[in-house]
Chains A and B, each alone.
Chain A
């Protein structure tokens, strides 16, 4: 049913349609509206046979989900940013135990300095935690990915993180098609685990594993992610049949057929990039986009095939591995590694801490990549004047201590970029 609704509320409705049995809620911006919505659905009786538990921290939220899932219940929680870091130990534990928990991540920057706005630093911090990580481009896709996530999680017995851009998606009110209960029930069978905590068949779950078998356990986790590379497109295709629209999958291309330059990106920024590409195409520039939906498992082969014909690849990502560069760029680089004549890779870090990524800046970036390529990582819309002053200051007088306040002070003094 088509609805004009806030993204978070649409996700809450979709999650409810998946019949979760235990939901653990702890507030953190910008994810909070999702669990609030689910709480309402449980309280008003729209979502039955579901325990909604208000916990005292994100660490407890995922821990409760771990207990519930190990005992055979379909478990869900949501978090963002600092919350994800606070539950980090449980994030690894859930995947290590092979528990099919689904968690929404309302993508937000990580402090310090504290920042509530959107980027992908939080998701990247857990990229090696053994979870599947799916990135939604739109709120419609966010709704659809949650339904696919439960199916994937339970088929593989692995946890799935659905990554949705904080505010840009979570707080946007727009037209969203909410599936019917019949559609979801036909697509998603009940959770039927092989092994649970049951007095009838006592099992010890979570025992210590030493050097004798740890490598094998990790290999199997990696193997399961390779299975996911096949399952994700399958379940996406099955979803298209049942729900009448194509969402999810490993990746998808936009105007990429004859492109000399291909942009690679994840999440909601792909909308702005598509608009920019349309404008550049109007100017006769052969440019296209590859949208990564599945960041874990990373679709190395599919991406290699998608990028093989391009001369230039520009990775635009909302995260930075400080001291190394963009994580997505590094992963894209790995997929290009074995091509005989790989395209030239350009890495740009953009939109950190919620800075808007504008079409103007993207136009400039993509043109620069073809005429004046840069080495290493480009920081889109970096205020070079402020950074330059701070670097100059620290060179003049070595003084350790926090830097963020210096930046703020200089920003207040400097001419706003728009007026330059």
Chain B
């Protein structure tokens, strides 16, 4: 088998780098050595999701997919097949009669991407083409809700598929409805800001990354479009492993979240820095690495930039549900050890 090609340094080296600009955390490729730059910074990138697609301005999913798939293309010497669930990514990349995909790509249904990918992987095995690898991808609706059964089956059989979930916390393609990944209190079209409990309910939550870890699959990671170095590294690492793998990427959706297009990266970063979206890696059922919070922020900083949470800030008094959201953040911070006890600041 051809070894995966990567010019990225081992993860330790990347982690120690201070390649972000002070205050903004912006990725500065020019500040690091050439071999440590992102795949995306290279002219040799595959542009697997090429220009001309119909994503909204500031779309986190388009950005995440571009980075993830190009990194996977690099890792597999372009021997990659992608299976796509129905959703924004599928619709905005393939408006009839065009396609933005520069790799073999198959869309079947909303809820079966994991199973279809299993079939493609099985075909590659039987056709004796071990160099060809398979990715399945979908949004949170297609992954954590309607595609969940197929996903769990693929995990449990340890099929040789990397499943990437672009998590924008709702059914954005159908007009912003609630999914099981929608955070409590968030306004969606099916959780309107009405009545005594406006917005989404405080349920028990559903962490599909944790559920993936509970399957003891070889590799699970969460990632964010706020840290594209980390995202690429995780995709490349995932492609170096065989068996079922899962990466969930937090991808802000300006349309669905009611945020400014230019705030996509900022929101993705704030989601991590407030503790609401823990970034971690797990191998074979054990968490192996967490991305520490560089500068902890209160959850309000994250909520305030989004119209889906605007009702929490009306009426002059502090909505008690903000504290409940903060409690979720704090529980994440405690569970994953996101803040060093010595206190860590960028």
Min CB–CB distance A189 → chain B (angstroms): 17
Instruction: Name the contact of A71 in the complex, choosing from B94, B119, B149, B152 (C-beta under 8 A).
Output: B119
Interface string of A128-152 (1 = CB under 8 A from B): 0000000000000000000000000
State whether A55 and B153 are in contact (beta carbons under 8 Å apart), knowing that A204-B99, A207-B107 are contacts in the complex: yes
Beta-carbon contact of B104 and A60 below 8 Å: no
Total A residues in contact with B, Cβ cutoff 8 Å: 44
* Distance A210 CA – B54 CA, assembled complex (angstroms): 15
* B1-9, B124-132, B210-218, B238-246 - interface stretch: B124-132
Interface presence of A54 (CB below 8 A):
yes
Interface string of B99-126 (1 = CB under 8 A from A): 1011111111101100111111111111
Instruction: Name the contact of B126 in the complex, choosing from A22, A56, A199, A203 (C-beta under 8 A).
Output: A22
Beta-carbon contact of B157 and A68 below 8 Å: no
In the assembled complex, 30 residue pairs joining A and B whose CB atoms fall closer than 8 Å, in A order, are A21-B126, A22-B123, A49-B126, A51-B123, A57-B150, A60-B115, A60-B149, A60-B153, A63-B108, A63-B150, A71-B81, A71-B120, A71-B123, A73-B122, A73-B127, A97-B108, A197-B81, A197-B120, A199-B78, A199-B80, A199-B104, A202-B102, A203-B105, A205-B104, A205-B106, A206-B84, A206-B108, A208-B91, A208-B94, A210-B96
* Distance A50 CA – B125 CA, assembled complex (angstroms): 9
Min CB–CB distance B255 → chain A (angstroms): 19
User: Which residues of chain A have C-beta atoms less than 8 A from B119's C-beta?
Assistant: 22, 24, 53, 63-71, 73, 75
Complex interface residues of chain B between 298 and 346 (CB less than 8 A to chain A): none
User: Which residues of chain B have C-beta atoms less than 8 A from A213's C-beta?
Assistant: 96-97
Interface presence of A212 (CB below 8 A):
yes
* Distance A197 CA – B118 CA, assembled complex (angstroms): 14
- Chain A residue nearest to B77 in the complex (CB): A199
State whether A56 and B149 are in contact (beta carbons under 8 Å apart), knowing that A67-B118, A68-B119, A199-B132 are contacts in the complex: yes
Beta-carbon contact of A90 and B122 below 8 Å: no
User: Which residues of chain B have C-beta atoms less than 8 A from A24's C-beta?
Assistant: 119
Mark B residues whose CB is within 8 Å of A.
Answer: 78-81, 83-84, 90-91, 94-97, 99, 101-109, 111-112, 115-127, 132, 149-150, 152-153, 156-157
Beta-carbon contact of B109 and A212 below 8 Å: no
Beta-carbon contact of B104 and A197 below 8 Å: yes
- A-B pair count, CB < 8 Å, reads 155
* Distance A377 CA – B202 CA, assembled complex (angstroms): 54
- Chain B residue nearest to A198 in the complex (CB): B104
Min CB–CB distance A35 → chain B (angstroms): 15
* Distance A73 CA – B95 CA, assembled complex (angstroms): 28
Closest 9 CB pairs of A and B: A67-B119, A71-B123, A56-B153, A206-B107, A63-B115, A63-B112, A207-B94, A204-B99, A67-B116
* Distance A54 CA – B102 CA, assembled complex (angstroms): 32
**A24, A64, A70, A89 — which one has the most chain B CB atoms within 10 A of its CB?**
A64
Min CB–CB distance A5 → chain B (angstroms): 27
Beta-carbon contact of B122 and A68 below 8 Å: yes
Min CB–CB distance B100 → chain A (angstroms): 8
Beta-carbon contact of A60 and B94 below 8 Å: no
Beta-carbon contact of A21 and B96 below 8 Å: no
User: Which residues of chain B have C-beta atoms less than 8 A from A202's C-beta?
Assistant: 101-105
Beta-carbon contact of B118 and A53 below 8 Å: yes
Min CB–CB distance B213 → chain A (angstroms): 19
* Distance A93 CA – B91 CA, assembled complex (angstroms): 16
State whether A67 and B103 are in contact (beta carbons under 8 Å apart), knowing that A55-B115, A199-B81 are contacts in the complex: no
State whether A53 and B157 are in contact (beta carbons under 8 Å apart), knowing that A59-B115, A197-B104, A199-B80 are contacts in the complex: yes
Beta-carbon contact of B150 and A67 below 8 Å: no
User: Which residues of chain A have C-beta atoms less than 8 A from B117's C-beta?
Assistant: 67
Min CB–CB distance A62 → chain B (angstroms): 8
Beta-carbon contact of B79 and A199 below 8 Å: yes
Interface presence of A209 (CB below 8 A):
yes
* Distance A197 CA – B157 CA, assembled complex (angstroms): 23
User: Which residues of chain A have C-beta atoms less than 8 A from B127's C-beta?
Assistant: 21, 71-73
* Distance A247 CA – B167 CA, assembled complex (angstroms): 53
- Chain A residue nearest to B133 in the complex (CB): A199
Interface string of A1-32 (1 = CB under 8 A from B): 00000000000000000000110100000000
